[in-house]
Amino acid sequence: MASSLSFSTPIHTKQNPFSYHSSNPFFPQLTHKPSRSLIVSCAATTSSIEAATQTSSTTTISSKSLPFRVGHGFDLHRLEPGYPLIIGGINIPHDRGCEAHSDGDVLLHCVVDAILGALGLPDIGQIFPDTDPKWKGAPSSVFMEEAVRLMHEAGYELGNLDATLILQRPKVSPHKEAIRANLCKLLGADPSVVNLKAKTHEKVDSLGENRSIAAHTVVLLMKK
Protein backbone atom coordinates (compact mmCIF):
# COMPACT_ATOMS: atom_id res chain seq x y z
CA MET A 1 0.00 0.00 0.00
CA ALA A 2 3.07 2.16 0.31
CA SER A 3 1.56 4.57 2.79
CA SER A 4 4.02 7.05 4.20
CA LEU A 5 1.82 7.81 7.19
CA SER A 6 1.46 5.75 10.28
CA PHE A 7 -0.19 5.83 13.64
CA SER A 8 2.95 7.41 15.03
CA THR A 9 1.53 10.87 14.31
CA PRO A 10 -0.16 12.47 17.31
CA ILE A 11 -3.58 12.58 15.71
CA HIS A 12 -3.60 8.82 15.35
CA THR A 13 -1.91 7.73 18.53
CA LYS A 14 -4.20 9.72 20.74
CA GLN A 15 -7.49 9.51 18.94
CA ASN A 16 -9.86 7.19 17.28
CA PRO A 17 -8.98 7.25 13.57
CA PHE A 18 -12.39 8.83 12.91
CA SER A 19 -12.64 11.16 15.84
CA TYR A 20 -10.99 14.15 14.27
CA HIS A 21 -13.91 14.44 11.86
CA SER A 22 -15.87 15.91 14.70
CA SER A 23 -13.91 19.08 14.04
CA ASN A 24 -14.65 18.96 10.33
CA PRO A 25 -17.69 21.17 9.71
CA PHE A 26 -18.34 19.50 6.37
CA PHE A 27 -18.36 15.87 7.42
CA PRO A 28 -21.81 14.34 7.06
CA GLN A 29 -23.96 13.25 9.94
CA LEU A 30 -22.58 9.90 10.86
CA THR A 31 -23.30 7.56 13.69
CA HIS A 32 -20.16 5.54 13.28
CA LYS A 33 -19.92 2.05 14.57
CA PRO A 34 -16.50 0.85 13.46
CA SER A 35 -16.65 -2.66 12.13
CA ARG A 36 -14.85 -5.49 13.82
CA SER A 37 -12.14 -5.41 11.18
CA LEU A 38 -11.40 -1.78 11.88
CA ILE A 39 -11.27 -2.29 15.60
CA VAL A 40 -9.06 -5.34 15.21
CA SER A 41 -6.69 -3.65 12.79
CA CYS A 42 -6.36 -0.61 14.99
CA ALA A 43 -5.94 -2.74 18.07
CA ALA A 44 -3.08 -4.53 16.42
CA THR A 45 -1.31 -1.21 16.17
CA THR A 46 -1.78 0.20 19.63
CA SER A 47 -3.99 -0.72 22.51
CA SER A 48 -4.72 2.95 23.12
CA ILE A 49 -6.32 3.20 19.72
CA GLU A 50 -8.43 0.15 20.45
CA ALA A 51 -9.62 1.74 23.66
CA ALA A 52 -10.33 5.04 21.95
CA THR A 53 -12.15 3.33 19.12
CA GLN A 54 -14.29 1.22 21.35
CA THR A 55 -15.14 3.94 23.84
CA SER A 56 -16.19 6.30 21.08
CA SER A 57 -17.85 3.70 18.91
CA THR A 58 -21.26 5.03 19.76
CA THR A 59 -20.35 8.67 19.31
CA THR A 60 -22.64 10.54 16.97
CA ILE A 61 -20.92 13.06 14.74
CA SER A 62 -23.34 15.74 13.69
CA SER A 63 -22.15 18.32 11.22
CA LYS A 64 -23.06 19.85 7.93
CA SER A 65 -23.03 17.37 5.07
CA LEU A 66 -22.14 17.97 1.47
CA PRO A 67 -24.24 16.71 -1.44
CA PHE A 68 -21.05 15.63 -3.24
CA ARG A 69 -17.61 14.60 -2.08
CA VAL A 70 -14.52 14.10 -4.27
CA GLY A 71 -11.64 11.75 -3.48
CA HIS A 72 -8.31 10.98 -5.12
CA GLY A 73 -6.21 7.84 -4.73
CA PHE A 74 -2.71 7.02 -5.86
CA ASP A 75 -0.70 3.85 -5.42
CA LEU A 76 2.53 2.37 -6.74
CA HIS A 77 4.08 -1.05 -6.28
CA ARG A 78 7.43 -2.53 -7.19
CA LEU A 79 7.31 -5.35 -9.73
CA GLU A 80 9.46 -8.38 -8.95
CA PRO A 81 9.78 -11.80 -10.58
CA GLY A 82 8.08 -14.62 -8.71
CA TYR A 83 4.90 -12.78 -7.71
CA PRO A 84 1.45 -12.84 -9.32
CA LEU A 85 0.28 -9.65 -11.01
CA ILE A 86 -3.20 -8.91 -9.71
CA ILE A 87 -4.97 -5.84 -11.04
CA GLY A 88 -8.52 -5.05 -9.99
CA GLY A 89 -8.84 -8.54 -8.54
CA ILE A 90 -7.91 -10.19 -11.86
CA ASN A 91 -4.79 -12.31 -12.19
CA ILE A 92 -2.89 -10.98 -15.23
CA PRO A 93 -0.28 -13.26 -16.84
CA HIS A 94 3.12 -11.55 -16.64
CA ASP A 95 6.76 -12.36 -15.91
CA ARG A 96 6.55 -10.51 -12.60
CA GLY A 97 4.12 -9.17 -10.04
CA CYS A 98 3.80 -6.94 -7.00
CA GLU A 99 5.87 -7.54 -3.94
CA ALA A 100 3.53 -6.40 -1.20
CA HIS A 101 2.17 -7.31 2.20
CA SER A 102 -1.31 -7.98 0.81
CA ASP A 103 -1.90 -9.19 -2.75
CA GLY A 104 -0.39 -5.92 -4.04
CA ASP A 105 -3.43 -4.94 -6.09
CA VAL A 106 -2.42 -1.40 -7.06
CA LEU A 107 -5.79 -0.57 -8.61
CA LEU A 108 -7.97 -1.69 -5.72
CA HIS A 109 -5.65 0.01 -3.24
CA CYS A 110 -5.95 3.36 -4.97
CA VAL A 111 -9.73 2.99 -5.40
CA VAL A 112 -10.01 2.32 -1.66
CA ASP A 113 -7.86 5.38 -0.93
CA ALA A 114 -10.00 7.53 -3.22
CA ILE A 115 -13.19 6.47 -1.40
CA LEU A 116 -11.59 6.93 2.02
CA GLY A 117 -10.26 10.31 0.91
CA ALA A 118 -13.69 11.42 -0.27
CA LEU A 119 -15.09 10.46 3.13
CA GLY A 120 -12.27 12.29 4.91
CA LEU A 121 -11.07 9.09 6.55
CA PRO A 122 -7.51 7.87 7.20
CA ASP A 123 -5.77 6.15 4.29
CA ILE A 124 -5.64 2.46 3.50
CA GLY A 125 -2.22 2.04 5.09
CA GLN A 126 -3.54 3.35 8.38
CA ILE A 127 -6.75 1.34 8.43
CA PHE A 128 -5.06 -1.87 7.25
CA PRO A 129 -1.44 -1.45 8.44
CA ASP A 130 1.12 -3.57 6.62
CA THR A 131 2.76 -4.28 9.96
CA ASP A 132 -0.27 -6.37 10.89
CA PRO A 133 0.24 -10.05 9.96
CA LYS A 134 -3.54 -10.27 9.62
CA TRP A 135 -3.31 -8.60 6.19
CA LYS A 136 -0.35 -10.65 4.87
CA GLY A 137 -1.42 -12.01 1.50
CA ALA A 138 -4.96 -10.73 2.03
CA PRO A 139 -7.07 -10.26 -1.10
CA SER A 140 -7.60 -6.54 -1.60
CA SER A 141 -11.31 -7.18 -2.08
CA VAL A 142 -11.61 -7.14 1.73
CA PHE A 143 -10.31 -3.55 1.75
CA MET A 144 -12.81 -2.64 -0.95
CA GLU A 145 -15.68 -4.18 0.96
CA GLU A 146 -14.77 -2.13 4.00
CA ALA A 147 -14.42 1.11 2.01
CA VAL A 148 -17.80 0.56 0.33
CA ARG A 149 -19.38 -0.23 3.69
CA LEU A 150 -17.97 2.99 5.17
CA MET A 151 -19.25 4.95 2.17
CA HIS A 152 -22.79 3.68 2.68
CA GLU A 153 -22.55 4.14 6.43
CA ALA A 154 -21.69 7.79 5.84
CA GLY A 155 -24.80 8.10 3.66
CA TYR A 156 -23.10 8.25 0.26
CA GLU A 157 -23.19 6.27 -2.95
CA LEU A 158 -20.80 6.26 -5.89
CA GLY A 159 -21.48 8.99 -8.42
CA ASN A 160 -18.71 7.95 -10.78
CA LEU A 161 -15.14 6.72 -10.74
CA ASP A 162 -12.30 7.28 -13.18
CA ALA A 163 -9.10 5.26 -12.81
CA THR A 164 -5.82 5.27 -14.75
CA LEU A 165 -3.35 2.42 -14.65
CA ILE A 166 0.27 3.15 -15.55
CA LEU A 167 2.45 0.23 -16.59
CA GLN A 168 4.76 -0.55 -19.47
CA ARG A 169 3.88 -4.22 -19.78
CA PRO A 170 1.78 -6.30 -20.21
CA LYS A 171 -0.92 -4.76 -22.34
CA VAL A 172 -4.01 -4.10 -20.25
CA SER A 173 -6.51 -3.96 -23.13
CA PRO A 174 -7.20 -7.75 -23.28
CA HIS A 175 -8.07 -7.69 -19.56
CA LYS A 176 -9.67 -4.29 -19.28
CA GLU A 177 -13.30 -5.39 -19.35
CA ALA A 178 -12.72 -8.19 -16.85
CA ILE A 179 -11.00 -5.73 -14.51
CA ARG A 180 -13.76 -3.16 -14.94
CA ALA A 181 -16.50 -5.75 -14.42
CA ASN A 182 -14.90 -6.91 -11.19
CA LEU A 183 -14.48 -3.33 -10.05
CA CYS A 184 -18.19 -2.72 -10.67
CA LYS A 185 -19.07 -5.84 -8.74
CA LEU A 186 -16.94 -4.85 -5.75
CA LEU A 187 -18.34 -1.32 -5.81
CA GLY A 188 -21.91 -2.46 -6.42
CA ALA A 189 -21.92 0.05 -9.26
CA ASP A 190 -23.29 0.22 -12.77
CA PRO A 191 -20.58 -0.07 -15.48
CA SER A 192 -21.67 3.30 -16.88
CA VAL A 193 -20.16 5.07 -13.86
CA VAL A 194 -16.89 3.12 -13.64
CA ASN A 195 -14.18 4.05 -16.12
CA LEU A 196 -10.76 2.47 -16.50
CA LYS A 197 -7.90 3.78 -18.59
CA ALA A 198 -4.38 2.45 -19.05
CA LYS A 199 -1.21 3.97 -20.36
CA THR A 200 2.49 3.20 -20.60
CA HIS A 201 5.24 5.36 -19.15
CA GLU A 202 7.11 5.80 -22.43
CA LYS A 203 9.82 3.37 -21.30
CA VAL A 204 11.24 5.87 -18.82
CA ASP A 205 11.73 5.56 -15.07
CA SER A 206 10.77 2.47 -13.08
CA LEU A 207 7.22 2.46 -14.50
CA GLY A 208 8.51 2.51 -18.04
CA GLU A 209 11.14 -0.12 -17.33
CA ASN A 210 8.68 -2.77 -16.08
CA ARG A 211 9.98 -2.34 -12.53
CA SER A 212 6.84 -0.83 -11.05
CA ILE A 213 3.15 -0.29 -11.61
CA ALA A 214 1.01 2.66 -10.51
CA ALA A 215 -2.58 3.82 -10.57
CA HIS A 216 -4.57 7.00 -9.99
CA THR A 217 -8.28 7.13 -9.16
CA VAL A 218 -10.75 9.94 -8.77
CA VAL A 219 -14.20 9.28 -7.30
CA LEU A 220 -17.26 11.42 -6.90
CA LEU A 221 -19.58 10.36 -4.09
CA MET A 222 -23.16 11.58 -3.92
CA LYS A 223 -25.35 11.95 -0.87
CA LYS A 224 -28.05 9.28 -0.92
User: CA–CA separation, 28 vs 179, rounded Å?
Assistant: 31
**At closest approach, how far in Å is the CB of 81 from Zn ion?**
19
User: Is residue 32 a contact partner of residue 153, using CB atoms and an 8 Å limit?
Assistant: yes
- Which residue lies nearer to Zn ion by CB, 75 or 146? 75
- Closest separation between CB of residue 75 and Zn ion, Å? 4
Query: Least distance to Zn ion from the beta carbon of 72, Å?
Result: 15
104 touches 98 (CB < 8 A): yes
Distance separating alpha carbons of residues 122 and 224, to the nearest angstrom: 22
Q: Supply the minimum distance, in Å, between the C-beta of residue 77 and Zn ion.
A: 6
| For Zn ion, the closer CB: 100 or 218 | 100
How many C-alpha atoms does 41 have within 13 Å on its Cβ side? 24
Whether 110 and 163 have beta carbons less than 8 Å apart is answered as yes
- In this complex, which beta carbon is closest to Zn ion, that of residue 75 or of residue 123? 75
Smallest gap from residue 1 Cβ to Zn ion (A): 4
Q: Which residue is nearest to Zn ion (CB)?
A: 109
Shortest separation between residue 199's beta carbon and Zn ion, angstroms: 19
What is the per-residue DSSP string for 29-65? PEE----HHHHHHHHTT-HHHHHHHHHTTTPEE----
Q: Can you tell me the distance from the alpha carbon of 29 to that of 135, in angstroms, rounded to the nearest whole number?
A: 30
Which residue from 219, 218, 217, 221 is spatially nearest to 76, judged by alpha carbons?
Answer: 217
Backbone torsions φ then ψ of 93, nearest 5 degrees:
-60, 125
**CB closer to Zn ion, 1 vs 38:** 1
Which residue ranges make up the site for Zn ion (CB under 5 A)? 1, 75, 109
- Decide whether 20 or 74 has the Cβ nearer to Zn ion: 74
Nearer to Zn ion, 30 or 112 (CB): 112
